[in-house]
Structure 1
C-alpha cells in the first residue's frame, strides 16, 4: 500500500482553507445582521432626527451584505454536495 502524501497534503490544505473561508463568511453574515439590528434600534430611538435617514441606509446595506454572505455559504455547500454526488 502506497500513500500519495502530496495529494493528501493538498486535500488537507484546500479543505482547511475552504472551511476557514466558509466560517468567516458565515460570521460576516451574522455580524451584518447584528449591525442591521443595531442600526434599526438606533434609528427608532433617534426618531425623526437627521441621523435616522443615514441609519436606514446603513441598516439596508448591512442586511443586504448579510444575505449575500449567507447565499455564498449556501452556494459553497451546494457545490460541495454536487462534487460528492457527481
Structure 2
C-alpha cells in the first residue's frame, strides 16, 4: 500500500481551515441573535437590532449551505 502523504496533509489542512471557519460563522450567528440592543431613555433593552438579526440569519444560512454542499459531495 502506498499512501500519498502530501495529499493527505492537504486534505487535513483544508478540512481543518473550513471546520474552524464554519464554527466561527455559526458562533457569529449565535452572538448576533443574543446581543441585546442598547437601552435608551430609560427603555429596557428587548432584543437584538434588525441589522444584527439579519447578519445572524445570514450566518446561519451560510452554515446550512455549507452543510448542504458537504452532503451533496458525499452523495454525488
Give TM-score scaled by structure 1 length. 0.77
Structure with the larger RCO, 1 or 2 (CA within 8 Å, 6+ apart): 1
- Alpha-carbon offset, residue 39 of structure 1: 1.0
Q: Report how many aligned residue pairs link the two structures.
A: 74
The residue matched to 2:49 in structure 1 has which SS?
A: helix
The answer for the alignment partner of 1:82 in structure 2 is 72
- Alpha-carbon offset, residue 46 of structure 1: 1.6
Query: Runs in 1 of length 4+ with deviation above 2 angstroms?
Result: none
Unaligned regions of 5+ residues in structure 1, if any? none
Unaligned regions of 5+ residues in structure 2, if any? none
The answer for the alignment partner of 2:15 in structure 1 is 15
Larger Rg: 1
